[in-house]
Amino acid sequence: MAAFERIIFPALNHLVKNESWARERLRQFSGSRLLIAAGSIQLNLRINEQGLFALADIAQPADVLLTLPADAPLKFLFDRNALFSTIKLSGSADLAECLAFVFRNLHWDIESDLASVLGDIPARRLAQMGAKLGNQMQDNAKRISRNFVEFSTEDSQLLTATRDIHAFCQAINNLRDDTARLEKRIKQL
């Protein structure tokens, strides 16, 4: 088992085990196979009778192929909705719809997992600190990207500002209208 499989496979099953609705949805597709492809990394899975994932034989074709974009880890950390909108699904439509629903709605109850190891109060505080840190990281990433855009358009002029593009387009429209009026005047002479 590759390192990727040793991390993702148990984590995925851990999430599904905690959600009875997810197991029920997946149980309907018992025996179906899926291939998750993220660049050169591929994970072949099948859905077992309990509605959990099991490793699948590579020789048999997958019923559904999930292709993740190259920036999937960053999108997973910062914008899960953007990640789910960029995943490409192909194969069985019913299974693909089920998997999309399950993956979109699975949530990790980190506080519960920490509570079983550390106790309730430390787990609660760590989860709150983690959420606060995650929000701060997202805010910082947004600010950095806005600063980069501002620097690129205003200071270094590597990119053209949107307002300048709109002004240019408006000037072209005005020139076209003026040219059309001039042509009409010339035809009247």
CB-facing half-sphere around the CA of 185: CA atoms within 13 A: 6
Other beta carbons less than 10 A from residue 98's beta carbon: 19
- The pLDDT tens digits for 31-83 are 888 888 877 778 888 888 888 888 877 777 888 888 887 777 666 666 666 77
Residue 72 identity: A
Pick the CATH number of 3-105 from 3.30.1050, 1.20.120, 3.10.450, 1.10.287: 3.30.1050
- Given a cut of 70, the residues of the chain with pLDDT beneath it are 1-5, 73-81
- 108 by Cβ neighbours in 10 Å (0-12 / 13-18 / 19+) ranks as exposed
Q: Where are the domains of the chain?
A: 3-105, 110-158, 159-189
pTM score above 0.75: no
pLDDT of residue 153: 83
Structure token digits, residue 68: 């993740």
SS3 category, 174: helix
